[in-house]
Each structure stands twice: as C-alpha cells, then as structure tokens.
C-alpha cells in the first residue's frame, strides 16, 4: 500500500515538473513587448544599397500592425489605412493573405512591410455544410498558429494593432492575447458582424451562430478603441453591447477619378473586354455597366442576371433601348456557378441584347473602368443591415451613378435616392431602372451622374485624418 502511494506520488511529481517546465518555456518564449522609450526606425535602402554597406533609416512617429485575416489585395479599406498611416510617418506591418495584387503605394512605401500569412490547406476549405462543421475547428487551429506567429514573432513590437472584423474567429482572441503580452493597444475596425455572415451559411438559430455572437462581443468589450464603417453600426454596437465606436465612412482614394472623353476612349480601346465594342460604346448604341462582386452569399448575382434577361426580352419585343455590355469584376467561391448559368442563358438565347463578361483587373484598370462606365450596379444585401458596400464609394469617386440593393438600414448613409443613385429590392425593379435610365434622351442618368460627381469632392483623407489619424496621434 505504501509502495503504491509512493509510485502515485512519483507520477504526480513527474507530471507537475513536466507541466511546470512547459509553462516556463511558454513564459520565456513569449513575444517581446513594445517599449515606447526606445526609438523606432525603418531602413529604406534598396537591396543593392544594403549589399554595398549603405545604411539609411527613417525614424517613425508610431508603429501599427494592420491585420486582416483575408486577402490583402481584396481588402481595400485596410490597404488605405496602411497608406494613410505611412503617409503620416508611421511604420506599418500589413498582415494577411497575399493572394492578389496590392495597391502600388503599398509596394513602393519603405514604411509598409507585408507579412504574408500562409493560407489553410485546400483540404480544409469546403462549401459543404456538414464538412464545414467538421473542418472548421481544424482550419481555426491552423489560423490561430499562423496568425499568432505573424503577430508575435515575425514582426517587431508595435504601439497599435488595427484589426479588421470580420472574420472574428480566431482573429479577435489572438489579437487580444498578443496585445496584452506586447503592450500594444488594440483597435477593431468593424466592417460587419462575423456572426451575421455565419448565419447566412448556418441559419440564425444555429448554436454556432449564437456562440460566435457571444465570442465576438466578449472580446470586443475588452477593446477600448473601435471604428465602424457606418453610423448605424456604431449605434448598434452602443445599443446592444455598450461599445463606444467612432464611425469612419469609406471614401474613394485619389486614384479613383472621373475620366475625360479622350481618356475614356483610350481605355475602352485598350481593355480586351471593351476593345471590340469601342465604336458602339462611344456612340451610345451600347451602354457599359459595371458591378464588382466577391461572389458570396451576401451578394445575390441572380438578381442582376434576371434583370438583364428581362431587359433583353424588352428589346426583343420592340422597346427602343441600347444593348448592354456588363462587366463583372472580382473573385469568389460562387463565380464558377454563375459563369455556368450565364453560359446556359446564352445558349437559350435569353441574353441576345446583353453581353456579360467577368474580369479580374489591376487596381488602376479597375478605377479606370469605373470612370468609363455608364452605370454601376451594387448587389450587396448586407447580412447585418448596418454595413455598406465599398464598391459604391469607388464608383462615386469616378463620378459613376449607382443602382443598388437598398433594403437595409444603412443604405441612405451612402446613396441619396434620385440624386446620386437609385435603389431596388427585386430583379423586376432593377430591370425597370435599367429601362428607365437607358431610354429616351438619357436625362435621368445624366442627373444621377451630376450627383455622383459631387461625391468626388469627399475623399478618404478627409474622413481618415480627423478620426483614425487623431486616434493614432498622427494628426491634430
């Protein structure tokens, strides 16, 4: 009996020593902390200059980790944050997936460094609902380690961390822990709610949606600084969770500009999707519409398809209308599904007066395409009702009038009905708007364009400087 107790005590002692050793290793391997008393510099030498022993550095005013658990190239707002911080003398580590081209100013700035996170294995990515529930925990574990390593060990300590939300899981928990360890101040930039997007896949009543909502706001309540894309979202955070947030509306950056007639002609002749239709587009025999989409569930592309089918039928029946060239830009999971559907509609001769093209364009070409278009279309339906599509902001930056899905609370913060755009709530309403705006002399469309051109005067820096700039103590 005594020997048995001794054996058990030895096991317990060994286990305690093992756990204590692991805990000690964990403590000693924690990331280094931010020390505001130490000077912060960034080398700005080219690789060849470094090789020749040349050293030139910039003393920075502050340091910020800008984090998006998504493709950096498809996260324009976070790129604009990084550019603005660097413009005011801040050092930026831009952390996320690097899957597509980033803004040229990011690539050329010595103060911005991209820290790429490895994407989860393709085996863990699925659209199947049952497999999603099985693979989701494994994918989260992958993201936890990849993000923790990037935030804590692949980057220098920073004064601030600016995190895009959503995705919330695991971003908020990892960010909170790293900020606590590194003496970094966390700022959450609310683009939407993670739980409302998850509800699109699983349904509002699903237990994981409720857990996601609890998780999202538990970690958010521990954060002292919050930005939102709309006033409606700031109100919801306050009313539902007691979180105080500042609204920072999206505005177009400088590279989104109206085109002159000469610039428009040159662009239409250069782009492969428009080159063979230049003459028809310039005479007005064809109208060019543009829609940017992420091909996800919160943008029902079938609405535009059904509207274009109806428009084509109206032309066939004798209504005097121009043909339409519709260019759809973007990448996403449902793209192949809709391309197959477009092909079927063409085979059925239901788009005889409409040509639909999909494209992925550079930042410059996308901005120019908006400036060359006659009308922009937004299909963003908003899972929460309080976020806004940034694509409309970009369209206004080029003076492009917009028609968009308007059945959500925050829509009036962006579009003034009949002044710079029009709203719709069904495919039939969108079809009617296309017919109305493209028929006759075009006066209705021209009035909307005048309103959209007024929006060109409201730019990203005008919004960012007094809100985020002041928060990061970079502007007065």
- How confident is the prediction along the chain (476 residues), in pLDDT tens digits per residue? 565 656 566 656 655 555 555 444 444 556 888 888 888 887 765 555 455 555 667 788 899 999 999 999 989 999 999 999 999 999 999 999 998 889 999 999 999 999 999 987 776 565 555 566 666 777 888 888 999 999 999 999 999 999 999 999 899 999 999 999 999 999 999 999 999 988 888 888 888 889 999 999 889 888 889 999 999 999 999 998 899 999 999 998 888 999 999 999 999 999 999 999 999 999 999 999 999 887 777 688 899 999 999 999 999 998 899 999 999 998 878 888 888 999 999 999 999 999 999 888 888 899 999 999 999 999 988 888 898 888 999 999 999 999 999 998 899 999 999 999 999 999 999 999 999 999 987 899 999 999 999 988 888 999 999 999 999 999 97
In whole angstroms, give the CA distance from residue 191 to residue 464. 15
Greatest extent of the chain over all pairs of C-alpha atoms, in Å: 102
Same domain, 355 and 244: no
Kindly state whether residue 183 falls inside one of the protein's structural domains.
Answer: yes
- Residues 409/414/416/419 CA torsion (nearest 10 deg): -160
Check whether the bond before 130 is cis (ω within 30° of 0): no
Pairing mode, strands 57-59 and 41-43: antiparallel
Domain range spanning residue 164?
A: 41-251+462-471
Kindly state whether residue 31 falls inside one of the protein's structural domains.
Answer: no
Kindly state whether residue 369 falls inside one of the protein's structural domains.
Answer: yes
In whole angstroms, give the CA distance from residue 33 to residue 30. 9
Same domain, 314 and 340: yes
Helix (H, G, I), strand (E, B) or coil at 21: helix
Same domain, 109 and 59: yes
Per the structure, the count of domains in the chain is: 2
Same domain, 194 and 295: no
Kindly state whether residue 108 falls inside one of the protein's structural domains.
Answer: yes
Q: What is the DSSP string of 206-255?
A: -HHHHHHHHHHHHHHHT-SEEEESSHHHHHHHHHHH----EE------TT
In whole angstroms, give the CA distance from residue 357 to residue 64. 39
Count the helices and strands in the chain (H runs, E runs).
20, 15
Same domain, 202 and 283: no
**Angle, CA of 208, 330 and 104, to the nearest 5°:** 110
pTM of this prediction? Answer: 0.84
Give the domain CATH number at 163: 3.40.50.2000
Same domain, 326 and 407: yes
pLDDT tens per residue, range 448-465? 999 999 988 888 999 999
Q: What pLDDT was estimated at residue 25?
A: 47
pLDDT tens per residue, range 191-217? 999 999 888 888 888 888 899 999 998
Same domain, 55 and 153: yes
Do 92 and 113 touch, CB atoms closer than 8 A?
yes
In whole angstroms, give the CA distance from residue 125 to residue 135. 7
Q: What angle separates helix 129-152 from helix 194-202, to the nearest 10 degrees?
A: 160
Q: What pLDDT was estimated at residue 445?
A: 94
DSSP state of 417: B
Kindly state whether residue 192 falls inside one of the protein's structural domains.
Answer: yes
Per-residue tokens: 469: 């700039």
Do 151 and 65 touch, CB atoms closer than 8 A?
yes
Q: What pLDDT was estimated at residue 368?
A: 93
Kindly state whether residue 3 falls inside one of the protein's structural domains.
Answer: no
448-451 LR contacts (CB < 8 Å, sep 24+): 448/401, 448/402, 448/418, 448/419, 448/420, 448/421, 448/422, 449/399, 449/400, 449/401, 451/401, 451/416, 451/419, 451/420, 451/421
456 class by beta-carbon count within 10 Å (0-12 exposed, 13-18 middle, 19+ buried): middle
Same domain, 91 and 222: yes
Same domain, 196 and 320: no
Q: What pLDDT was estimated at residue 53?
A: 57
Per-residue tokens: 77: 């707002």
Kindly state whether residue 48 falls inside one of the protein's structural domains.
Answer: yes
140 class by beta-carbon count within 10 Å (0-12 exposed, 13-18 middle, 19+ buried): middle
Do 167 and 97 touch, CB atoms closer than 8 A?
no
Kindly state whether residue 142 falls inside one of the protein's structural domains.
Answer: yes
Alpha-carbon Rg for the chain, nearest whole angstrom, is: 26
Same domain, 444 and 299: yes
Reported as half-sphere exposure (CB side, CA atoms, 13 A), residue 178 has a value of 31
CA 144 remoteness from chain centre: 21
Same domain, 68 and 193: yes
Same domain, 238 and 367: no
Helix (H, G, I), strand (E, B) or coil at 151: helix
């Amino acid at each position: 009996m005594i020997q048995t107790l001794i054996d058990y005590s030895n096991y317990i002692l060994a286990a305690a020593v093992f756990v204590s050793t692991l805990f000690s290793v964990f403590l000693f391997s924690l990331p280094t902390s931010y020390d505001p008393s130490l000077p912060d510099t960034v080398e700005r030498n080219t690789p060849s200059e470094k090789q020749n022993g040349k050293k030139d550095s910039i003393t920075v005013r502050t340091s910020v980790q800008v984090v998006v658990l998504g493709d950096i190239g498809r996260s324009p707002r976070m790129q604009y944050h990084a550019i603005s911080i660097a413009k005011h003398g801040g050092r930026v580590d831009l952390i996320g997936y690097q899957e597509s081209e980033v803004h040229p100013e990011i690539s050329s700035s010595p103060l911005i460094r991209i820290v790429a996170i490895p994407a989860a294995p393709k085996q863990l990515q699925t659209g199947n609902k049952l497999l999603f529930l099985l693979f989701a925990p494994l994918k989260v574990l992958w993201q936890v380690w990849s993000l923790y390593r990037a935030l804590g060990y692949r980057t220098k300590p920073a004064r601030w961390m600016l995190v895009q939300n959503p995705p919330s899981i695991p971003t908020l928990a990892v960010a909170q822990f790293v900020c606590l360890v590194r003496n970094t101040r966390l700022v959450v930039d609310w683009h939407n709610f993670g739980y409302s997007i998850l509800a699109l896949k699983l349904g509002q009543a699903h237990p994981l949606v409720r857990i996601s909502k609890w998780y999202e706001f538990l970690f958010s309540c521990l954060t002292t600084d919050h930005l939102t894309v709309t006033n409606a979202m700031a109100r919801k955070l306050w009313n539902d969770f007691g979180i105080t947030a500042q609204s920072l509306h999206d505005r177009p950056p400088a590279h989104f500009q109206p085109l002159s007639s000469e610039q428009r002609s040159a662009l239409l002749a250069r782009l492969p999707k428009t080159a063979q239709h230049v003459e028809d587009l310039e005479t007005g025999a064809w109208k060019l519409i543009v829609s940017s989409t992420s091909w996800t569930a919160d943008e029902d592309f079938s609405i535009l398809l059904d509207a274009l089918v109806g428009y084509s039928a109206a032309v066939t029946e004798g209504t005097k209308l121009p043909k339409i060239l519709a260019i759809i830009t973007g990448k996403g999971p449902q793209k192949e599904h809709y391309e197959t559907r477009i092909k079927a509609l063409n085979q059925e001769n239901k788009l005889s007066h409409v040509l639909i093209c999909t494209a992925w364009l550079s930042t410059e070409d996308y901005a120019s395409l908006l400036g060359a278009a006659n009308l922009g279309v937004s299909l963003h339906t908003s899972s929460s009702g309080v976020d806004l599509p940034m694509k409309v902001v970009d369209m206004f930056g080029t003076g492009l009038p917009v028609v968009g899905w308007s059945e959500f609370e925050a829509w009036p913060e962006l579009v003034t009905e009949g002044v710079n755009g029009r709203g719709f709530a069904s495919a039939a309403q969108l079809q009617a708007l296309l017919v109305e705006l493209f028929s006759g002399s075009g006066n209705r469309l021209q009035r909307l364009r005048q309103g959209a051109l007024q929006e060109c005067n409201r730019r990203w820096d005008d919004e960012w400087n007094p809100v985020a700039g002041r928060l990061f103590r970079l502007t007065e």
